[in-house]
Amino acid sequence: MSEIKEEELKEVFLKILKEDEKFRYAILGSAGLEEILKRLDRHEEILIKLREDFKTVSEEQARLREDFKALSEEQARLREDFNEMRKEQIRIAEEQIKLREDFKTVSEEQARLREDFKALSEEQARLREDFNEMLKTVKGLQESYIRIDQRIDSLYGAMIYGFWQMSKFAGVTFEEFIRNFLTERLRKAGEIPKNAKLKKAIINGEEINIFLKSPLIVGEVTAHAETIEEIDKLMKKTKIVERKYKGKARKILIVLTATKEAAKEIMEKAKKEGIEAIIGKTIAE
């Protein structure tokens, strides 16, 4: 019975020793081991801390490896991009050299164009001077032509008047004489066909002294004029003919004699209306 109690006492002692830290240190202190146990506990704490730090370092090292791997991959991409950039840089440099050559060519061409433009400007100035001289010449020729044309009209007028003076002895009316005279003149000038002949016609009740259908010609003949009434009569008859034949007619006015004032007015209005007017003789009022 005494041995059983001793065993139980040992178990209880060990249990208390295990569970009660103060009691354990008291027992160990009595045995001189308290300071060693405390140091071991501190070392265990340090060891746990070191394990935790090691774990943290290991995790950090793993992250660093991943970052290093990512950095290596990025570096590889940068190297590829750099190589591409170098290639592009070389291409740009070559293109720049070509642009310089092209710019030089353009500059030379521009210089030639300036020279050509200068030469062209000088040529234009000379042409302008020549053109101005030509204008003066043309103006002089026009004035001469007008004078010649006036002389020809006067000559035709004088011829008509002179021929009429001779023809009236042959029993030919003035109208007939003018139609025959103008027919021959226009045939020779090629202004009407060889077989065409000016004639007298009645169109819409109006008597037309001189008429030809093709080309369309309308004319008025009068022995004497003291006003521009004959012009108005011719214009009225022309409108009638143009409406009927739907074309533009050539207008001719023949006046045997006219007063000086009337002749001036007739010629001025005839020019304005596009009428070919011939006056045989101008007489005093």
- Over 70: is that where the pLDDT of 148 sits? no
Q: Kindly write down the DSSP assignment for every residue of 225-249, as one continuous string.
A: ESSSHHHHHHHHHHHHHHHHHTSPP
Predicted TM-score of the model (pTM): 0.46
Give pLDDT tens digits for 37-70. Answer: 667 667 777 878 878 887 887 888 888 888 878 8
Strands 217-225 and 250-259: parallel
Q: Where are the domains of the chain?
A: 172-283
DSSP state of 191: S
Give pLDDT tens digits for 169-214. Answer: 445 677 888 888 889 888 988 999 999 999 999 999 999 999 999 9
Mean pLDDT of 228-249: 94
The pLDDT, as a whole number, for residue 33 is 60
Which whole-number Å values give the CA distances from 24 to 40, 152, 157, 219, in the listed order?
A: 14, 161, 166, 159
- With vertex at residue 154, the alpha carbon angle to CA 229 and CA 262, rounded to the nearest 5 degrees, is 25
| Strands lying side by side in the sheet with 250-259 | 199-203, 206-212, 217-225, 250-259, 275-283
- Over 70: is that where the pLDDT of 104 sits? yes
Q: Which sign does the torsion angle of CA 42, 44, 48, 54 carry? A: positive
The pLDDT, as a whole number, for residue 149 is 47
279 vs 263: CA distance, rounded Å: 7
- Structure token digits, residue 56: 């943290």
Contact 193, 215 (CB under 8 A): no
79 vs 184: CA distance, rounded Å: 103
User: Which contiguous run of DSSP H or E holds residue 218?
Assistant: strand 217-225
Strands 275-283 and 199-203: unpaired
Residues near 27 by Cβ (< 8 Å), separated by ≥ 6?
17
Partners of 203 in beta bridges = 206
Contact 258, 229 (CB under 8 A): no
Residues near 256 by Cβ (< 8 Å), separated by ≥ 6?
160, 161, 164, 174, 222, 223, 224, 280, 281
Q: Write down the residue that tokens 């030809």 correspond to.
A: 212
Q: Collapsing DSSP states into helix, strand and coil, what is residue 277? A: strand
Mean pLDDT of 18-27: 73
The pLDDT, as a whole number, for residue 164 is 47
State the virtual CA torsion across 188, 193, 195, 197 in degrees, nearest 10. Answer: -80
Give pLDDT tens digits for 253-272. Answer: 988 888 999 999 999 999 99
Overall fold of domain 172-283: Trna Endonuclease; Chain: A, domain 1 (3.40.1350)
255 vs 253: CA distance, rounded Å: 7
